[in-house]
Amino acid sequence: MKKTYIKALAALMLSVGATSCGDSFLDTEISNGIDLDGGLSNVQNIGYALNGTYYRLFYYYFSGNYATSIGDIASDITYWNGSTSHQSDFYQFTPTPTSTYLEYIWNYGYKVADNSSRIIKAASELSDLSEEDQSNLDEFVAEAYALRAYAHFMLVNIFGHQVMVNGTNFGSQPGIVVIDDPIPAGAQVSRSTVADAYKSIENDLLSSLEYFDKAGWENDGIFYFTPAAVHGLLSRVYLYEEKYAESAEAAATALEIKGITELTYTDAGYKALYNGGASNNESFFALNINTTDNWSANSCGTLWSTYSYSPSPYLQSIMADDDVRRAVWGWANNSTPSTPFFNSGKFAAFGLGGNSAYGTNYLINAPEMFLNQAESNLKLNKLDEAKESLLIVAKRNPAISTVADLPDSADALFTFIQEERARELFQEGLRLYDLRRWDVKANLNATGAPEIKWFIQDFKVSDCVYPIPADEINAGYGVTQTPDWSSTFPSI
């Protein structure tokens, strides 16, 4: 069927209304004045509520910036020139429970999860629908399951221990509050384990696929969840769980649905992926940030330009000069080797006048799927299959044209995959979780550009767990702080 209810995000913003910085994640008035506790009595209203839930995912407090950016800012592939202080506590590994960034991530992640749960519950109570309404409703439910899974996945990776770390299972560690059913305002809650959170995420993604199948879905864009995006997210989830066969299979399915077997290998072709909006034909799921609906000074594009962040000297050192991924790299007029100012890279919105505020977040993309296949097959001792998938991405470097140009040994190939993920996935928010799950001793908090120097050297980043926001702990609804969280971060 053809998607009809998703409109431009201007309409979504008007339908949601203003949201204050300190409102509760359990507030229920979300769209067109409809209250989720009692207003979801028909398919149209559920569609409005779904629009509002996408908007909360889209917000710069969550996937539109903070929850996405933390994964690269707190890593070895980013450089902060110190000119502004935005998100510098992530970069310097000096978080506190009173961090406004962490508070916003927590609040808006739970807005998405709670609102999705209300949509799923309300949809289950509707009956005697026309065939068209039932099909629309099934698709809304499919997307709500995917949105809830995405929110829980982001939250558990930021506020919980990495589930698997190089073969060691940390699933029994404190996770997050999993919202499988709507939580009444004022109710007492508790944190699940990390393993239980992942089980809920898996179940939601599988339920999403079941409802997409019931809806008779057609491929119709990248600005909302589709089966390809769900399989792509499932591949990421399985990879983090070290379920390698399942990750490779989910990645293959995502690529098959989109019909992607190759990537672009020219400077012009790569740059065109980042013209803005739906320009990225390698993407499965993106936010509809554009010239009208964007976060201006709070955008990722501003973070990666005016607000002082750029590719680290380390990342630059492992990127060939003629690698096509450099086609989106540039430097501002006020940039110097010691105080670099980036042009915002993947957020440059070249086709939208080059205003970095208009650049969008491409959240689930084909290159990651090939890299997931490569890593998974390597872990399954399928070196030939690993090389075949890896080559599809590695050919972004013109010096690599056949599998013969890739390392032969398993250890060397794994090192190459680790570096290739740094090169390819820069600015997509995944690096911190890669470093944690690989259990590498990372060099962090780069300084002294253009040289490769680090304030933090050989640090075991896999143990780092961000604190639950103090406001949530102090609210007294049952959420407890992670024991000894501060000891998991380095002292500078």
pLDDT > 70? residue 275: yes
The torsion angles phi and psi of 413, rounded to 5 degrees, stand at -65, -40
pTM (global) more than 0.75: yes
Range 81-93 average pLDDT: 95
Range 9-31 average pLDDT: 38
CA 123 from centre of chain: 27
Range 270-280 average pLDDT: 97
Task: For residue 491, name the pLDDT band (cuts at 50, 70, 90).
Answer: confident
Burial class (CB in 10 A: 0-12, 13-18, 19+), 369: buried
Residues above pLDDT 90, as percent of the chain: 89
User: Any alpha helices (H) in 340-405, and if so which ranges?
Assistant: 366-379, 383-394
pLDDT > 70? residue 17: no
pLDDT > 60? residue 3: no
Range 59-85 average pLDDT: 97
Range 302-315 average pLDDT: 97
pLDDT > 70? residue 12: no
- Residue 104 pLDDT: 98
Mean of the per-residue pLDDT values of the chain = 92
Residues above pLDDT 70, as percent of the chain: 92
Can you name the residues that pair with 331 across neighbouring β-strands? Answer: 342
pLDDT > 80? residue 5: no
Please, which residues have CB within 8 angstroms of residue 148's CB and are 6 or more apart in sequence? Answer: 112, 113, 116, 117, 120, 179, 204
- Residue 36 pLDDT: 59
- Residue 184 pLDDT: 87
pLDDT > 90? residue 443: yes
What is the per-residue DSSP string for 193-236? BHHHHHHHHHHHHHHHHHHHHHHT-----SSS--HHHHHHHHHH
Task: For residue 21, name the pLDDT band (cuts at 50, 70, 90).
Answer: very low
CB 331 within 8 A of CB 343: yes
Q: Which of 34-43, 104-113, 343-352, 430-439 shows the lowest per-residue confidence on average (mean pLDDT)?
A: 34-43
- Residue 185 pLDDT: 82
- Residue 217 pLDDT: 76
pLDDT > 50? residue 11: no
pLDDT > 50? residue 115: yes
| Choice between 75 and 184, residue whose per-residue pLDDT is larger | 75
Other beta carbons within 10 Å of 186? 9
Task: For residue 385, name the pLDDT band (cuts at 50, 70, 90).
Answer: very high
The torsion angles phi and psi of 136, rounded to 5 degrees, stand at -60, -45
